[in-house]
Structure formats: structure tokens, C-alpha cells
Amino acid sequence: MNNKTQITTAALIVAATAGFATAGSLELDRAYASELKADAGTRSVLNQGNLSNVEISVGVRFGLSYNSLDGSALPDDDTTTGFQFSDVEVALEGDVTDNMHARVSFQFGPDNSSSAAGGTAVLEDAFVDWAVNDTFSLRVGQFIPAFSAEASTSEFNTVGSYRSVAHESLGTPSWTQGVEAQFGNDTWAFAIGFNDGPNTANTAYNGAEADFGINARFDFYSDSDMGRFDDQTSWRGSAAGWRVGAGVMFASYGSTNPSGAETDSAFFTIDGAYEADGWAVRAAFYYSDVEDTATTDHSNMGFELGGSFFFSDQWEGFARWDTIILDDDAGAGQTTGEDSFNFIALGANYYFVPESHAAKFTIELGVSLDETADMTAAAATGDMGTGVFGANSSTGFFQENATEDGQIMISGTMQWLF
């Protein structure tokens, strides 16, 4: 084979090899392009119009509780103790658009907002906030309506392991479904909403809920640092400031399908707080008026006074007194004896990281000064229907048997957020 023939043959071999390689490369490129196109399409569907900044947060409160009372039919069963989760919350938040922010949260603990067993996921928050302009926004979905300051404060940001009986009976509407308009400026905030009434989370529109509910709240602040009141703590070095507010909620039942007893319920609250360098005080008044054709009309009220003080950068002491006064009308059927019930809470918090709720240990002593046995089952449920005693109690107290006088509750709670 001469040189010319060799060169020609080599050229043909190289050309053929290059052709096969190119063909293989084109097939791979087409496959990669198809996969990328499909992936891009999927991401486009998932994130279309979304800023893709979804954040996941988890909050857990777990502890040991001891309760001394005669809470059983057996006379020697006067002690209840054990471990439990108070809260196990998983939340997702993110921007839908540049002026819409959404939140969805699930509760896995024995939370008082649901009768579901602990460990079962229960939907709590599911709403979007649409910032129409700098001073006006709309909240749409399922949320806790603006009514009382403490109801709008996360349990992870409270100073104690448990909330007060007065608040849980008369001051917390729990979750509802509806629309709420929110207005505000540097030193004031106002909200007004239209909803399904208190304690109606995850209900169908033709289910067990009010015909309609209306809520409104106004807050006035000493300065523009409104965020300091998102919790009940005032860290060392904080500037002095105050907040005062009032809320109202009205719900009407029995005029639409499914029809029940015709009932009109009205709730009012006035509350305030003062925070300074390492200490804080807060107070609240609650009032309810229920007009029910099936039972006797009644009006109940409650008071709450609490405070906290930092002994060091990480140790905080707190105290709270609250009372609930039930309507003693002979036909109201809420109490079999005394009409006023008083409760005291004393305790301390240790913050593993100063100025952070991320890891916190709380020890609390609760004392019931009066016989909770005198409260009937209806009164123990609370006018807003959230419940204040019994299993998974959000107050830490139980309803006693008759003739029992007072009870003591001790708890230690570990909290972690991430």
C-alpha cells in the first residue's frame, strides 16, 4: 500500500470514528436536554411566580408534670405524674410573591386546639398575608384572629409552661377560618375580620361553626419598637416601652344550616404591658356575654396580672395571678358553689443562649386556691370552647372531685426551636 493509499484510508477511519462519536454525543446531548427540560418544567410548575425562599421551623416543648388532687373516683388516686409533649409544631413559611407571605403549621403534640390524639398531625395556621400597601394588608385562610394579646403570642414565647385559666376560658378564640384586614403605622395597629367564629379550625362551611363571626382589635404603642411585645420577656438592656390594647369578638349561631340552638356570644378584652431593662409586667381583663335560647344567659369575667424579672443574663423569674368569676345566676348552671376561682403561678426560666427562646428550661409551680369541683363541665369548657381542665390541659390544672379543696401542680419543661 503506497503512502497516498495509506493517508486516504487513515482519513476515512478518522472520519468514521468522528462520525460515530458525534452521533453518540448528539444522542447524549438530546437525552440530557430532555431531562433538563423536564426538570425545568417541574421546577417551573412548583415555583411559578414564587420567590422560592420557603423556610421550615420546628418547635418542641417536652416535660414532666406532677399534680396533687383528688382527680379520680378512687379516694387514693390523688397524684398524677408523667412525661408528655406540650407542643410539637412544624411550620413552613415563604414569600408567594414580592408582597404575599404564606404560612402553614402542623401540631403533633396533644395541643388543646384539637381532640386528636398526640402524635397526629393537626393543621393550625394556613394563611397568606397580602401586603396591599405599607399600611394595609389582608390575611386570608385559617389563623388565630386578632382578639387578645396573649392569644396572638406563641406558646414558645410565653414565660410559663402553661397559660392562665382566665385566658384559656375567656381570652383565646383559638383558630378560625376567614379574612382579616390589618392596618398599622409606627405606633398603632388595628385589625378587623370576618370569620367562622371562635374555635372552628378545620371545619367545613356547613359544619359545627358559627353562622358568622366578627373580630376587631386595636393596639397603641409607646414607640415604633412594636416587635418587643411578640413575647412576654424583656431582656436585660432593653429600653422601656409600653403597649395597651382592646379586642372584641362576636359570633352568632343557629340561623343557618345545620341549625342548632340560637346563640349570640360576645367577648371583650382590655390588656396592656410595660417592659423595661430586664423586667416586665402585663395585665388583662376578659369578659363574655352569652345569650342562649337552650340554656340560661350568662356573663363571665376574668382578670390576669403577671410579671417577670431577670436575675442574670440567663435566669428569669416570673409570677402570675389570675381569677375567673362565673355568673352566679341560679339558672346559669355553671357553678355548684363559689363563683370565683383563683390561681397562682410561680417559676423560673433558664435560657441556654442569652436573649433567645431557642433553648429554654422552665420550672413552674401552680396553685389552685379554690375548689375547681364547683365549676360544672360547661364552665370548665370555657365560653370560647377551648377547654381549661382535663387531659392535655393547656392550664396544667384538673377538675377536682366534690369536697376537694385546692390543688398543686409542678412542672419542668424543656423547649427547643430550630
Provide the pLDDT for residue 331. Answer: 67
Q: For 379-401, what is each residue's pLDDT tens digit?
A: 888 888 877 886 667 888 887 77
> Which residues, in sequence order, are bridge partners of residue 180?
139, 193
Provide the pLDDT for residue 295. Answer: 67
> Which residues, in sequence order, are bridge partners of residue 44?
none
Please count the other Cβ atoms lying within 10 Å of the Cβ belonging to residue 51.
13
Q: What is the mean pLDDT of residues 294-319?
A: 93
Q: Percent of the chain beyond pLDDT 90?
A: 61
For residue 116, what is its C-alpha cell? Answer: 386528636
Residue 26 has pLDDT above 60, yes or no: no
Rounded to an integer, what distance in angstroms lies between the CA atom of residue 377 and that of residue 398?
Answer: 12
Q: What is the mean pLDDT of residues 100-112?
A: 86
Rounded to an integer, what distance in angstroms lies between the CA atom of residue 231 and that of residue 308?
Answer: 12
pTM metric for this prediction: 0.84
Residue 251 has pLDDT above 60, yes or no: yes
- Is residue 221 helix, strand or coil? strand
Distances (CA, A) of 156 to 60, 118, 337, 365: 8, 18, 36, 18
> Which residues, in sequence order, are bridge partners of residue 346?
319, 365
Identify the CA nearest to 390 among candidates 372, 403, 374, 405. 372
Please count the other Cβ atoms lying within 10 Å of the Cβ belonging to residue 268.
18
Rounded to an integer, what distance in angstroms lies between the CA atom of residue 381 and that of residue 368?
Answer: 17
For residue 140, what is its C-alpha cell? Answer: 386570608
Per the model's pLDDT, the better-predicted residue between 29 and 300 turns out to be: 300
Query: C-alpha 174: how far from its chain's center?
Result: 8
Provide the pLDDT for residue 120. Answer: 82
Q: For 40-85, what is each residue's pLDDT tens digit?
A: 444 444 445 555 689 999 999 999 999 887 655 555 567 888 998 9
> Which residues, in sequence order, are bridge partners of residue 273?
243, 282
Mean pLDDT (the chain) is 85
Q: What confidence category does residue 119 fall into, taking pLDDT thresholds of 50, 70 and 90?
A: confident
Q: For 163-173, what is each residue's pLDDT tens digit?
A: 999 999 999 99
Provide the pLDDT for residue 390. Answer: 66
Q: What is the mean pLDDT of residues 407-418?
A: 95
Q: What confidence category does residue 21 fall into, taking pLDDT thresholds of 50, 70 and 90?
A: very low
Q: Percent of the chain beyond pLDDT 70?
A: 81
Amino acid at residue number 315: W
Residue 16 has pLDDT above 50, yes or no: no
Q: What confidence category does residue 161 fall into, taking pLDDT thresholds of 50, 70 and 90?
A: very high
Is 265 within 8 Å of 242 (Cβ atoms)?
no
Residue 191 has pLDDT above 70, yes or no: yes
Q: For 223-250, what is each residue's pLDDT tens digit?
A: 999 999 999 999 999 999 999 999 999 9
Per the model's pLDDT, the better-predicted residue between 255 and 146 turns out to be: 146
- The torsion region of residue 392 among left (phi > 0), alpha (psi -120 to 50) and beta comes to left
